[in-house]
Homo-oligomer: A and B are copies of this chain.
């Protein structure tokens, strides 16, 4: 399951669904660069894992809605926590890298 969090598309779909119910097309529009095939695969996996609920309305054409289950919401909470952590420490990490690179450069001279 932890491996799954390394999957960019899974993370983006979970974050989007944390905002509310979404139709397939809405997810597609909200996640630039995702192909229809990849979105189908990602939502199917999340559905199979019980993290997402899928409702089909028998309209023409049929409408499909996705929403997080309670377990899915708890995962979204963790993912948002990580995203917050990442935002909070972005500058510190960038500074650390710049310092490290400068030190290495100095050692080389």
Could you tell me which A residues sit within 8 Å of B by CB distance?
1-3, 5-8, 11, 47-51, 71, 74-75, 78, 81-83, 85-86, 89-90, 92-93, 95-97, 99-101
A2: contacting residue among B1, B3, B11, B47, CB under 8 A: B11
* Chain B residue contacts of A90, Cβ below 8 A: 1
Q: Is the CB of A89 within 8 A of B5?
A: no
Structural contact, B49 and A71, CB atoms closer than 8 A: no
Provide the residues of chain B in CB contact with A74, threshold 8 Å: 85, 89
In order of increasing CB-CB distance, the 5 nearest A-B pairs are: A6-B6, A50-B96, A48-B100, A1-B86, A49-B93
A17→B4 CA distance, assembly (Å): 23
In chain B, what residue has the closest Cβ to A11?
B2
- Is A5 touching B5 in the complex (CB atoms < 8 A)? yes
Chosen A-B contacts, 20 in total, with CB atoms closer than 8 Å, are: A1-B89, A2-B11, A2-B86, A3-B6, A3-B8, A6-B7, A6-B8, A48-B96, A48-B97, A49-B93, A50-B92, A50-B93, A50-B97, A51-B93, A71-B92, A74-B85, A75-B85, A75-B89, A78-B82, A78-B85
